[in-house]
Amino acid sequence: MKIIGDYHTHTIYSHGKGTIEDNVKAAIEKGLKEIVISDHGPGHVFYGVNYKKLQKMRKEIDELNKKYKDKIKIYLGVEANIISVDGDIDVTEKEMKLIDKLLVGFHNGALPKSFRDFNELYIKNKLSKLNHKLKEECRKTNTQAMINAINKYKIDIITHPGAKVDIDTRELAKAASKKGTALEINASHRFLTLEYVKIAMEEGVMFSIDSDAHKPEDVGRFDWALNVAKEANLPPSRVINAQHD
Ligand SMILES: [Zn+2]
Ligand SMILES: [Zn+2]
């Protein structure tokens, strides 16, 4: 399987090491035809990108698209955070207008919408590591929050499902499949796992194979994810950023 674009990369706008152009150059060197710059959503307390930063990134990407127009297509994305059980994310309508691709994931460090959400999505998930009954409850809440987000927004990719909090892969895949949202096989976090990919495949969902690079040299580094895809017998036709011929 040949991957033609890396749809999940970070830059200095959040906590990556390279500039947008550094990532673009690295992608070109790896022979990629597309790249998505997807820094963390504004709700992330330490390194979220706010409206002003997104505006700057939009401008920079528009210029780079002119400069590299024969080589690569650059998209502005954001890796939004789930901030409530109801599936709210930390990207506003206004911010949504600036971006080309919406990625959504669970992250620690994102500001929850209310105290109830803080309790349900953060405290309980932490405590569930020690309590089996709570683990089951959290799995349900986490899954429902993500499904609510899928039904509420037009999400392109759910990033690293299962990496930060426990999720029911089958239920997630069912909802994502209906809405045309891809589930990510993330080479950095190593989620979806092989087991989860096999479950998700049965529900007809699409996948995205990404590096989640935090430095330019990792852009296009898909090895682990490609290996999982191979082991799962995942055909390129089921991968949004694979070459389809
Ligand atoms: Zn992430
Ligand atoms: Zn990321």
pLDDT digits (tens, 9 = 90+) for 3-50: 999 999 999 999 999 999 999 999 999 999 999 999 999 999 888 999
39 CA distance to ligand 1 middle (Å): 9
Q: What is the pLDDT of residue 151?
A: 98
Q: Which CATH class is domain 5-238?
A: alpha beta
Q: What is the pLDDT of residue 108?
A: 86
1 CA distance to ligand 1 middle (Å): 24
Say how far apart CA 53 and CA 141 lie, in whole Å. 32
Distances (CA, A) of 56 to 11, 51, 52, 63, 76: 13, 9, 6, 11, 11
Distance from first CA to last CA of the chain, Å, rounded? Answer: 11
65 CA distance to ligand 1 middle (Å): 25
Handedness of CA 213, 34, 206, 57 (dihedral sign): positive
Closest ligand to Cα 214? 2
Q: What is the pLDDT of residue 232?
A: 98
40 CA distance to ligand 2 middle (Å): 7
pLDDT at 228 over 90: yes
69 CA distance to ligand 1 middle (Å): 28
91 CA distance to ligand 1 middle (Å): 15
Q: Exposed/middle/buried for 236, CB within 10 Å: 0-12, 13-18, 19+?
A: middle
> What does the pLDDT look like over 164-212, one tens digit per residue?
999 999 999 999 999 999 999 999 999 999 999 999 999 999 999 999 9
Indicate yes or no: pTM above 0.85.
yes
237 CA distance to ligand 1 middle (Å): 25
245 CA distance to ligand 1 middle (Å): 30
